[in-house]
A and B are shown apart, each in its own frame.
Chain A
């Protein structure tokens, strides 16, 4: 099973770019990498998903190196409202389907 490892917490200031890296050394060929954001007292919310190289949407970018053993979520110019927990998720439907969430990274954005 692909186990994921993320930093437990990170601090940043408004306007900075934040990069959160997730390590998934045992990622399988068919696994996708997905990132979710969670605010207190709410369920997680989808941010971005990728398989390889780089993916960008209106909220974030996701960088995945060729070996796919890690991925980096990049949040450009964070604001106070980006303070949340960010989860990395690796999974596919192969071999019984396993889904592994990381422990989450608590991002604190300060003014």
Chain B
């Protein structure tokens, strides 16, 4: 079974802090994704990556950056956390081929609270 793990289930940070959310997948998947999930808004794509060192903006990239130095690891970075970034963050991965057509496997999510 594909396993996608995220570094923390719950995280509390202060406004202005730099925050790193880590995601690791064990299936040698080419594509990796970061979403945020908010009540009433569903899942919104922040960034995705289809290869090491490659990244593409999703629908809401503002205030975020990403890093993919190794194939199995995709990091989401909040350079200066703000209260409006309080949310559930979900990482996903999918196999080779069309990034948005392959089945995505999600991690359990990180619930981030920014005070």
Pair B99/A97 contact, Cβ less than 8 Å: yes
Binds A, one of B12-20, B61-69, B76-84, B106-114: B106-114
Of A44, A49, A104, the contact of B106 (CB 8 Å cutoff)? A44
Interface of A is mostly: strand
- The answer to whether residues A43 and B42 also contact, given A32-B100, A91-B100 and a CB cut-off of 8 A, is no
Counting CB contacts under 8 A, is B32 at the interface? Answer: no
**Which A residues, 73 to 103, have Cβ-Cβ distances below 8 Å to chain B?**
87, 91-93, 96-103
Count of residues in A whose CB is under 8 Å from the partner chain? 23
Counting CB contacts under 8 A, is A29 at the interface? Answer: no
Of B35, B42, B101, the contact of A32 (CB 8 Å cutoff)? B101
**Residues of B contacting A41 with CB < 8 Å?**
108-109
Name the distance in Å between B77's Cβ and chain A's nearest Cβ.
20
Pair A102/B42 contact, Cβ less than 8 Å: yes
**Residues of A contacting B4 with CB < 8 Å?**
43
Pair A46/B104 contact, Cβ less than 8 Å: yes
Of B44, B59, B101, B106, the contact of A43 (CB 8 Å cutoff)? B106
Name the distance in Å between A90's Cβ and chain B's nearest Cβ.
9
A90 to B62, CA, bound (A): 22
